[in-house]
Copies of this chain bind each other. A is one copy, B any other.
């Protein structure tokens, strides 16, 4: 995200820092999508981003540090939730957005690489979980509003519903290798909606879970 975009032509405080971060994280994402975590080298990232090596080593320290900050930026940039007026259409919009992201060549590879990196490194795993926290919180009102409208039963856990919407798409990407397309996305949204309306996602202690 270019934080300067609202101030064209000006150099506001923090502008250079924001531009450095943007360049470094764009290169980081390119390298991850192209070669995975093992291809990520701080010196090479600095050179490709046109940024001093000392700056990169001082600010991000390790490849895991770059991945963690990339996940923060991905959360900052993630698209706002849908607000169509029905649970099914909101969840369908969510599922299609996830499907579109995971089938985009760069983004799909990027998610694969970041999830693989998280499997090997607890700090990266924590950054990944924060990314999903942000996404799941952003979309929670779709479920909360469905409860207010009387479409979904009181006590429905938004996080459980939204996890059920995304999960089959990730299962295809990471486990079975089955294709991801709009039909799969729509089916996932329908399944989660039907189960929500039936009360499957009423979770007694959901307020106590991470949200």
**Residues of A participating in the B interface, judged by any CB pair closer than 8 Å:** 36-38, 112-113, 115-120, 125-126, 128-129, 132-133, 136, 159-160, 163-164, 166-168, 170-172, 174-178, 183, 187-188, 190-192, 194-195, 198, 200-201, 203, 209-210
The one of B171, B192, B194, B201 that contacts A171, using a Cβ cutoff of 8 Å: B171
Is A174's CB under 8 angstroms from B176's CB? no
The one of B170, B195, B200 that contacts A175, using a Cβ cutoff of 8 Å: B170
Is A176's CB under 8 angstroms from B136's CB? yes
Nearest chain B CB to A3 CB, angstrom units: 28
The one of B36, B38, B115, B210 that contacts A178, using a Cβ cutoff of 8 Å: B210
Closest B residue by C-beta to A117: B116
**Which B residues touch A172, using CB under 8 A?**
163
Is B115's CB under 8 angstroms from A174's CB? yes
